[in-house]
Structure 1
Amino acid sequence: MGTIQCYSSYLSENDDIALTGLATASTNEFAEVVLGGTLAIPAAVVFFGVERTQELAANSFDLAFAVMPVLFQQLPAGQLFGTLWFGLLFIAGITSSLAMGQPLMAFLQDELKMSRQKAAITLGVTVFLLVQPVIFIMPHFMNEFDFWAGTFGLVILATIEIVLFTWVFGIHRAWDEINKAADIKVPIFFKYVLQFIAPAMLFVILGDYFYNTLPDVILLRGDSKPSSPEAGQMIQLARLMLVGMLVGLCALVGLAWKKQSGSDHGGTLNEMRREPSTLPEETD
Structure 2
Amino acid sequence: MERIKLNDGNTIPAVGFGVFRIPNDGSTYQTVKEALAIGYRHFDTAAAYFNEAEVGKAIRDSGIDRKEIFVTSKLWLQDNSYELAKKGIQSSLNKLGLDYIDLYLIHQPYGDVPGAWRALEEAQADGLLKSIGVSNMSPKLWQKYVPDFKVMPAVNQVEFNPYFQQKELRKLMAKDQVKLEAWSPLGSGNHDLLQEPVLVNLAEKYHKNVGQIILRFENQEGAIVFPKSTHEERMKSNIDIFGFELTQAELAQIEALDKGKGMHDPDAPGVAERLLGAYDVHADEK
Greater strand proportion: 2
- Give TM-score, length-normalised by structure 1: 0.22
Larger Rg: 1 or 2?
1
- Give TM-score, length-normalised by structure 2: 0.22
Q: Quick one: higher RCO (CA 8 Å, sep 6+), 1 or 2? A: 1
